[in-house]
Structure 1
Amino acid sequence: MIRNYQEILKIIEDNREKIRGFGVTRLGLFGSAARGESTDTSDLDFVVEMENETFDSYMDLKEFLEDLFHCKVDLVLMDAIKPRLRPIILGETIYVQGL
């Protein structure tokens, strides 16, 4: 498992065009990996904004990220973040540049 958030963001940036192909307009890393607290069993948590979001595009992106990082990925839609959690999640989110 990749634990360094810089490595995670670099891999995302290297796959930017493929990720854009899913309709992604913004993608950010949050959770233990963003805080530098992940372990070998940690998942990766991403917040995403998508154009023309469908269930299929969401699931395709989730599966792509899980294949890319070889671990479980929690993918949270920006619009679906509960208001009481929004400041916590967005306060620690590190966004991928160029998406």
Structure 2
Amino acid sequence: MKGQSEIARELQGMMAELRGKYHVKKIGIFGSYSSDRQTEKSDLDLVVEFEQPIGMMAFVHLRNMIADRLGIRVDLVTPDGLHPLIRDRVMHEVVYV
């Protein structure tokens, strides 16, 4: 099972494509993978910020592309997509790549 550092390296290796194709400004890991508490059943929680809006279809394509490349189920969210009651906690635990 991949850990946080390996996933961060793989995401960093994708950043040129993510910036060029999806206008990704920043992407970070949160949840169980951010503190290496993941299990075989864990999905990878990622928060992403964009240079410009990309639309729902491109957002879904981005999530699917990352999941396919990493071989892990991915839950992708923007900071504004986080519930207000957990946003601050999540944003403090994010490990940006």
Q: TM-score, normalised by structure 2?
A: 0.91
CA contact (8 A) 1:27 1:47 kept: yes
Equivalent residues, number: 95
Query: Is 2:39 the partner of 1:42?
Result: no
Q: How does 1:13-28 map to 2 (within 5 A)?
A: 13-20=12-19, 21-28=21-28
How well do the aligned residues superpose, as a CA RMSD in angstroms? 1.1
CA contact (8 A) 1:46 1:73 kept: yes
Instruction: Tell me the SS of whatever aligns to 2:72.
Output: coil
Instruction: Tell me the SS of whatever aligns to 1:39.
Output: coil
Q: How does 1:15-94 map to 2 (within 5 A)?
A: 15-20=14-19, 21-50=21-50, 51-94=52-95
CA distance in 2, matches of 1:91, 1:43: 19
Deviations 1:24-62 (A, max 9, x none): 111110000001100122110000112222001101110
Structure 2: which 5+ residue stretches go unaligned? none
Instruction: Tell me the SS of whatever aligns to 2:84.
Output: coil
Which residue identity is paired with 1:22? Y
CA contact (8 A) 2:79 2:91 kept: no
Structure 1 runs (4+) greater than 4 angstroms displaced: none
Instruction: Tell me the SS of whatever aligns to 2:57.
Output: helix
CA contact (8 A) 1:43 1:71 kept: yes
Which protein is richer in helix relative to its size? 2
CA distance in 1, matches of 2:8, 2:60: 20
Q: TM-score, normalised by structure 1?
A: 0.89
How many percent identity over aligned positions?
A: 31
CA distance in 1, matches of 2:29, 2:73: 14
CA contact (8 A) 1:22 1:60 kept: no
CA distance in 2, matches of 1:93, 1:8: 13
Which residue identity is paired with 1:61? L
